[in-house]
Structures are given as C-alpha cells and as structure tokens.
Structure 1
C-alpha cells in the first residue's frame, strides 16, 4: 500500500524511485547570465548626470495621479527598499527627494541593447533559453569556441558584454539551471559564482529559505514557524515530510535543496517567418503613404531579425484590395539579410508590380520575411581577449 506521500507523487504525475528523488545529473555545464539592474543601468549609461542618483524606471506617479509600477531600480534605490513590480508611489515615500529620479521606460532602447547581448551569447552556443530581455540560460556542455571550461566561457561573455554595451552583468555557473540562477543572484552586481557538484549541498545549506523558488511570502512564514530557516534545515527534512506538508511544491523544494534540477535549457523554436501587416480603413490609394508604411514595417522586421539572431532569404508582399481580393508576391534575395533597407527595397519593387491594387484601393498591406536561418559566427579565440581575471 503506497504511503500518503507516494499517493501525492503519483497523483501529480511524478516518476518516483525507491528513495523518491531522481538520480542527479551533473554532466551538464550551464551558465545563467543576468544583466545588473538592466533598464536602470542603460539609462545611467546614457545619462552620466544620473550618477549618485536613485534611478527608478517608471512613470513618475506624481505626474500620473499616483499610478504606475516600477519596472526596475538601480542599486542605490534598492538600498532604500525600492524594487521591481512595486507601486511607483512607494519610491516617493522611501527615497529622499533630492536623490530620487524617475525615468520613463524606453523598451525600444532596451530591446536594442538586449539584442547586442544575445548576439554575444550566440558566439558561444545556440542552446540559449531567454527568460527576459536581461537574462538567459546557456547550455555550454558543447559550445562553438572549443575546449574551454564553462567558467572561462562565462568570463568571456561577461567581459564582451561590458566592452560592447558598457554595462555590467553577473553570472552563475553550475551543472543545472536552478544552481546557475541561484549563483548569478548571489554576488550581484558584476558577480561571478561557480557552484561545483561537490560544493552544491554546502552552498545551499547556508542560504535563507526565501532564496528557493516556490518559498514566497505565504510559504516562508509557515516554514519558519516549523523551525525551517535555511537550506540546511530543508536538507534535514525527509522528502516524505516535505511532500506531506507541502505536496507537489514540497517535492520540488526537496529536489532543489539537494541540488537536483533535471530541466533542460530549451532553445527558442526556429520560426518559419516573421511578418507585419495592417488593415486600412478607409482604403489606401496613395503610393507614397503605402511606401512610407512599407519602410516602417521593414525597420520592425529588421529589428525582429536582429533580436532573434536570424537572417532572411526571401521577402513576401501581401496586399488585399477593397473587394477582398488578396495576393502575395515574393522575392528571393541574392544573399541573406537582416537589413531594413534591403527588405524595404524588395518590398517596394514587389509593390510596383501590382499598381492596380493601389488604384482600386488597398485594404490590407503587409510584408513578411521567410527562409530564416541563424547568423553564423566565425571561430573566436578566447585568449585573444583579456577575460578580466
């Protein structure tokens, strides 16, 4: 007869062994790279006068009826208890007036900087799992650069990101995603944390339980009431005990507290095409207006290609007239591109071959790029670059 713990595991779909936990996998080499206070750091880089100011990236609530949510805050603002996802009005209450500066978010600028960072990542590996604009997991068990350790590769990434963007980042290196993420958070900013298989249990033992995913504002006080305050306290609880008290969450906590995480780094799926289109009401008749729109979406497509580290080999025009007749025309490029001007030139040429649609009135106009492929990078010698120790 299964115990209550085993019943819980079976009901939630877990595969269980005799000791309830799966065998650990320590053969992988995972990097978690995380930009330091990313949006705020971009603004401070671009506005040197913000040095020594508590920078909060959010709409100023004093100008928006007290509304607004903080996107991020620099480290000086964080010293006053200001953090991401907090109501912006809290920054007004917590930070001295002469130090506080609100900056409206500029996501176009942040995406452009993120694309630079991801271009550097792709020099090392294509097995990249982006979490947001400012952080990603990289599986470097096999990599593009040769026989280098994960620590050397992470140091190379950190150095190259700084040289290219003038922004700092932190990294964690370990044998799984959970530990790599814990590591990158451990020594911010501009931190470097390496957690080897033989050190994982000791490293986790000294952490506050709030560090572990799944132990949030509700679960933490419950655990503290039970005398559980550190990773060591979690390790001393049996897997069955954690499952009995915290069900599925308890099983995951048991795994993490023992340094186990079998989830792979999942690279973004390759897209077959990227497209932009717009419906016009009233219908569009003016050629210059149509070309202006094609130029605009050509830039958007180029940005999307750069962000995803792709080139396109084909441009496709889609057009629909006021009678709902729809056609597509395509042009194969002489060479793959991610340049807006090349995309626009091909789109303009395709449009010029269907003048009757503009004459009749264009209801829908769009461009897409297909035949996508990853950008190729030449071999790089890490030791041509100072890794910064």
Structure 2
C-alpha cells in the first residue's frame, strides 16, 4: 500500500474542442462541437459552452444541432490533436518514465518512479501529499504555457481513485484523495462511478436495491458474486472499498489499428463499396506506419442496412504494412459478405501487430501483379478524430483493372480544416457548398480575422498543416 497519493490521472478539458478554440480566435468563448458532420455523424467532443445546452460526446450530431444551432460544427483535425498531445505527453514523461496514455488527452503517471520518487519515499505522508500537489500544479501550469490548454488532475494512491479525483476536478482543477479516505469519498457516489459498471450492470444492481457505492460495500462479496458472477462481482466489491492494485503501465501496446466510416446514404453499388475499402485501407496504413508497426491479420467490418454487423478476417503469412496487400485482402473479404440491401458502415483494421515491417512474399507478389499505371488520387482527406469522422475525399483507382474507374472528385473542404491562400495567408474553412468555400483568415496568435469566399477549385487555396498553438 502506498503511503503517499503519488499516482496522478491527467485529463485534458474538452480536448478536441479546446484545441479548435485555441487555434481559432473567433471561436473562443463560443460553443464548439467536433465530430462527424453527416446525417449519421456523432459528437466527439463539445466545448463547455456547448455542454451548457445539453450537447455531449457520443450524441448524434443531428440532435446536437437541434440543441445548439448556433455552435460551430467542425469535422476535426487529428494532426492538430496529435501535435498537442505529444507536447502534453512529453511534459508528463519529464515527471516520470511510468506514463500510461489512455488516449490522446488522458494518461496515468506514477510519480514514485520519477525524479520525485526519492523525496516522496523519505518524507512523512502529509509532506508527501503537499509535494504531489506542487508537482501537479507545476504540470498544469507548464501545459497551459506550452499549449494554452487547461487540464484537470486527480492524485491518489491508486489508478481508480486518481481517475475519480480528476472527474471531480473538472474543469481546470486539481483534487487529491488522501490515503485512507478512499471509502469516505466513494460511499455517497452512484454505482456508475465505478469502472466496469455500465447501464446493464446498473439495472441489475438497482433491482437488488443497490444504488450507491456504500450499498455495494455493505452488500458483501458473496451477494455481488451472486448478482454479477465471480470475476465481476469480486472486482466490484474490491473497488467499492477503494482497493485497486493495478500498476501504471507505460505506453500500453495497441492490439490493432483500424479506421471506419459511416455513410450518409447506404452504399449498394459493389464497385463503390470496394472503392471505399481502398480509401479506408490507405488511412489505416498511414496510421500503421506512423506508429512504426506492421500486422498479420486484416479485418473487415461491415454494418448492413438493417444494423446487423459482420466481421471477416484473414491472417497473412508474415506481418506487413504494404497498402496493396492489405487492400487486396480487405477486398477479398468483402466478396464474402452479402451487401444486398446496402451498407451503412465499413471498417478496415490490422491486428496481430509487430514492431517491424517484413518484406514478405505477399507484398512482392502484389507489386508484381499490379498494373504499371499510376492513377493520382484526387486528394487526401483530413485525418479523422479517434472516434471516427467520415472521410470527405474520394480519389484513386480500383485495384482490379476490370472494374470501372471512379470519376475524379471535385476538391472539397471540411469545416475547421487548415488552409493557406497565396495572398491572404493561413486560415480555416468555415463552410462550403454550391461550388464555393468560405475561409476565415486568422492564426492562434492574432485577433479574429476576416472572412472571404472563393471557388472550391481556386488554385491559390491549398490545404495546410496546423499551426502550433504557441509561437516557437
């Protein structure tokens, strides 16, 4: 048992929306919603200004628009979120080598393993708690200085309590749970406060008259095992007392890399489905290579018009990150699925990951078989958020040379996308339609900028990389 609350949980506040507001001066202090903008899109993150209208993550975007029609609805910029996440994670690693990222904006840190470890081991618990508070406050100040973003931090003797403390700290706060006070903190909370208790488990417990964490502790292990099964019941009973011996595991290894899109209109044409699989494969491979990984198993996910979801997979002889091999395999898997009636969602993933890429025979054979004609892609879509934002670009060619080529798509612009104009400089897309695109020209370092409208194919307007939130 720890004598000092030396595990911290950091959670960036409304991260995606906060990055957008910091990048775009005209949106600061205003409601911002990030997510899929199509008819079937969902909210990835809402700013606190939008949350006051009832908008929250995982909500259908159509509902969010009804609740907060005056919000800025943006498609998301994964490159910008990754850029700022890297800064935050680097600041965490300055405090300890034991950093366990849970997502781009969330991580556990074990301070005992870092430069503060010896001091924490030598001081009394009260002094140690004060040192942890000072370290956490310095961390939050450094994040604000480097990115302009705020973070909420919880400190405790376990991952469970640190996570609960950071929830209490939101937004832009710091909460420390002293060693020995875990049960007092947990007791009045609803059962859903504990990880592993979802809606179904909550209903089971409620039918048994158990609504608070105190009720779970009082019920006893035998009753919870009877209601929930041995593994789940035992785990919940331990958590009800604040017991959690899980270690902070640095850089948890991803088990797979995948991307998926939900389409506004069900896809019924087989060639269009195969074309979308090619696009998904390209994005999946881009993520795979960015992580320095390769994989053996290709997985295809298909959700049909009736919401039935099918997955098909094929394991290769060796790991690969070859786009042609993965696309060919995914297409082969698609031919095993009945798509009569239409497809509303497609996903392509790679699992059984390895730390290297092997020049395997599959890749060589695929390259040899390819037609030696290169068809340039019509453009590359802005990378989607971790929850999945629908791709807006269409381009490339069918791998099968007997299939009709897809017509080149007009260049399209996504709300929130970074752009650069030869005359007006950097800006971002406010909206587009009817052959026009509206751009606000501003940077993170200046006051709100002017708005101008151009033709969607204006040669002086180009996509650009995100600017850092703070000048170098």
Q: What TM bracket, shorter-length normalisation? A: 0.5 to 0.7
2:141 maps to 1:168: no
Counterpart Cα distance in 1 of 2:77 and 2:139 = 25
2:119 maps to 1:144: no
Other structure's SS at 1:57 match: strand
Equivalent residue in structure 2 for 1:119, among 80, 86, 90:
90
Q: TM-score, normalised by structure 1?
A: 0.61
For the 8 Å contact 1:26–1:176, the answer to whether it is kept is no
TM-aligned CA deviation for residue 236 of structure 1: 1.3
Counterpart Cα distance in 1 of 2:143 and 2:22 = 14
2:7 maps to 1:30: yes
Match of 1:239 in 2: 221
Counterpart Cα distance in 1 of 2:22 and 2:119 = 35
TM-aligned CA deviation for residue 165 of structure 1: 0.6
Match of 1:88 in 2: 61
2:23 maps to 1:46: yes
For the 8 Å contact 1:33–1:170, the answer to whether it is kept is yes
Distance of aligned partners of 1:181 and 1:43 in 2 relative to their CA distance in 1, 3 Å threshold: same
Counterpart Cα distance in 2 of 1:132 and 1:323 = 35
Pairing 1:2-21 to 2, within 5 Å after superposition? none
Equivalent residue in structure 1 for 2:241, among 250, 258, 263:
258
Distance of aligned partners of 1:67 and 1:111 in 2 relative to their CA distance in 1, 3 Å threshold: same
Other structure's SS at 1:185 match: helix
For the 8 Å contact 2:95–2:115, the answer to whether it is kept is yes
Counterpart Cα distance in 1 of 2:196 and 2:252 = 27
For the 8 Å contact 1:29–1:173, the answer to whether it is kept is yes
Counterpart Cα distance in 2 of 1:88 and 1:205 = 36
Other structure's SS at 1:141 match: helix
Other structure's SS at 1:34 match: strand
Higher deviation after alignment, 203-212 or 72-81: 72-81
Other structure's SS at 1:147 match: helix
Higher deviation after alignment, 254-263 or 79-88: 79-88
Other structure's SS at 2:119 match: coil
2:167 maps to 1:216: no
Distance of aligned partners of 1:323 and 1:170 in 2 relative to their CA distance in 1, 3 Å threshold: closer
For the 8 Å contact 2:10–2:166, the answer to whether it is kept is yes
Counterpart Cα distance in 2 of 1:323 and 1:116 = 39
TM-aligned CA deviation for residue 278 of structure 1: 6.1
Match of 1:364 in 2: none
Equivalent residue in structure 2 for 1:59, among 13, 31, 36:
36
* Structure 2 residues without counterparts, runs of 5 or longer: 121-130, 255-290, 295-320, 326-356, 369-472
Distance of aligned partners of 1:245 and 1:46 in 2 relative to their CA distance in 1, 3 Å threshold: same
TM-aligned CA deviation for residue 280 of structure 1: 8.6
Counterpart Cα distance in 1 of 2:18 and 2:42 = 18
Match of 1:193 in 2: 175
TM-aligned CA deviation for residue 226 of structure 1: 2.6
For the 8 Å contact 1:59–1:102, the answer to whether it is kept is no
Match of 1:5 in 2: none
Counterpart Cα distance in 1 of 2:222 and 2:136 = 37
- 1:203-241 per-residue CA deviation (whole Å, 9 max, x = no partner) reads 001212221112221222332233222222222111111
Counterpart Cα distance in 2 of 1:245 and 1:132 = 32
Other structure's SS at 1:137 match: strand
2:49 maps to 1:76: yes
Distance of aligned partners of 1:215 and 1:262 in 2 relative to their CA distance in 1, 3 Å threshold: same
Other structure's SS at 2:82 match: helix
Distance of aligned partners of 1:94 and 1:260 in 2 relative to their CA distance in 1, 3 Å threshold: same
TM-aligned CA deviation for residue 275 of structure 1: 7.1
Counterpart Cα distance in 2 of 1:109 and 1:231 = 39
Q: Which runs of 4+ in 1 moved over 3 A?
A: 24-28, 273-281, 320-325
Matched residue pairs, number?
A: 261
For the 8 Å contact 2:84–2:147, the answer to whether it is kept is yes
Distance of aligned partners of 1:198 and 1:90 in 2 relative to their CA distance in 1, 3 Å threshold: same
TM-aligned CA deviation for residue 140 of structure 1: 0.8
Match of 1:4 in 2: none
- 1:256-297 per-residue CA deviation (whole Å, 9 max, x = no partner) reads 1101011111112799x947976799xxxxxxxxxxxxxxxx
Question: Which protein has the bigger helix share?
Answer: 1
Counterpart Cα distance in 1 of 2:163 and 2:85 = 18
- The alignment yields a C-alpha RMSD, in angstroms, of 3.0
